Amino acid sequence: MTTLSDGLSSRPTADRQPTADRRPGAAGARLRTAGWHALIIGVLALLLYPVVWLLATSIKPTDEILSSLSLLPSRLAPENYSAALDGIAGIGVWRFFTNSVIVAVGSVIGNLVSCALAAYAFARLRFRLRGPLFAFTLLTIMLPYHVVLIPQYTIFQKLDLVGTFVPLILPKLLATDAFFVFLMVQFIRGLPRELDDAAEIDGCGPVLTFRYVILPLLKPALVTTAIFTFIWTWNDFFSQLVYLNDPESYTLPLALRLFIDQTSESAFGPMFAMSVLSIVPVILFFLAFQRYLVEGIATSGLKG
């Protein structure tokens, strides 16, 4: 349905541009295009200034960080990075980095497995409560985390799991990220049912159909889910703040927070160096998969 209307709407627009260029005012059109690019690049420069500022500041000597408006440092200050690598509170940065990776990768695996299984059931299998249960899933997308937080915390505390990564990863293994269930259900619904029927005629039950027909075709949705889960978990601060209480198990966001309490200006350089280290994975993921990310947002958003 969407692909059909997509094709209908995008083709005429694509045709319109060349005709506009062939008109007598082609030079004016080219000028307008140049103005368009200039405007957008201007807005982008303003928008991305804070990120550039962060990168530039991380290699500035401490005394220039706040006072100097110039993005270029008077001299490079690699000592910021060596201090950042030494970490904080006697714990090296790699420890925090490893902890963040464990939580993020665990969450990715959890979401991929549990959401794909649930999505297949909601999209393709028939069972009596399918409608109400799926409606419930959609509702939980809007549910504030705080409403379940305190009892969840109590449960994990009784199980003596507060301070471990289990409270951060286990919910993902149980498909509580309803957004991704929804995203995959929408994707599976878009796959032709004839494929399932063919598999069934060949004697495949739901398990084999899922494994050999749906799962391979679901790859784009799985990639989108994996990247978003990774980045969101990587950036997550609140639940890690609640559940991790031992500096040895701190993730990067929690380690960064420790810098706030250090009021002396000498901590600024290492703080921003560590900030850069903490956003490097996000930037790499973004550069590698930006098409998946943007398309994922566009389609899942639209179909809501």
Partner 1 sequence: MTTGTLRRPPPRPAAPGGSTAGTRPRYRRNRPGIAYLFLSPWVLGALLLTVGPMLASLYLSFTDYDLFTSPEWVGLENYKRLFADDARFLASAKVTAMYVLVSVPLKLAAALAVALLLNRNRRGQGFYRSAFYAPSLLGTGVAIALVWRAMFTDAGVVDSVTGTFGWDTGGWINEPDYALYVLIILAVWQFGAPMVIFLAGLKQIPTELYDAAAVDGSGTWRTFRSVTLPMLSPIILFNLVLETIHAFQAFTPAFIVSGGRGGPSNSTLFYTLYLYERGFSQFRMGYASAMAWLLLLVIAIITAVFFGTSRRWVFYSGEDR
- Among positions 61-120, residues that touch partner 1 (CB under 8 A) are 65-67, 69, 113-114, 117-118, 120
Pick the stretch among 91-99, 101-109, 216-224, 295-303 that binds partner 1 (CB under 8 A). Answer: 295-303
Q: Alpha-carbon distance 134 to 136, whole Å? A: 5
Among 85, 91, 217, 232, binds partner 1 (CB under 8 A): 232
According to the binding rule CB under 8 A, does residue 5 interact with partner 1? yes
Element of type H or E holding 296: helix 268-303
Q: Is 286 in the site for partner 1 (CB under 8 A)?
A: yes
Q: Among 61, 163, 190, 206, which residue sits at the site for partner 1 (rule: CB under 8 A)?
A: 206
Determine the Cα–Cα distance for residues 57 and 207; give it in Å rounded to an integer. Answer: 54
Stretch 165-184 residues interacting with partner 1 (CB under 8 A): 171, 173-176, 181
Give the separation between CA 68 and CA 78, rounded to whole angstroms. Answer: 18
| 148 near partner 1 (CB under 8 A) | yes
Do residues 295 and 221 lie in contact, with contact meaning Cβ atoms separated by under 8 Å? Answer: no
Q: Which of 33, 74, 82, 266 binds partner 1 (CB under 8 A)?
A: 33
* Burial degree of 132 (CB within 10 A; 0-12, 13-18, 19+): exposed
Which of 165, 153, 162 lies closest to 100, judged by CA? 165
Among 91, 138, 200, 217, interactor with partner 1 by CB under 8 A: 200
Of 72, 76, 92, 212, the one binding partner 1 by CB under 8 A: 212
Residue 218 makes contact with partner 1 by CB under 8 A: no
Q: Are 59 and 78 in contact (CB under 8 A)?
A: yes
Q: Does 154 bind partner 1 (CB under 8 A)?
A: yes
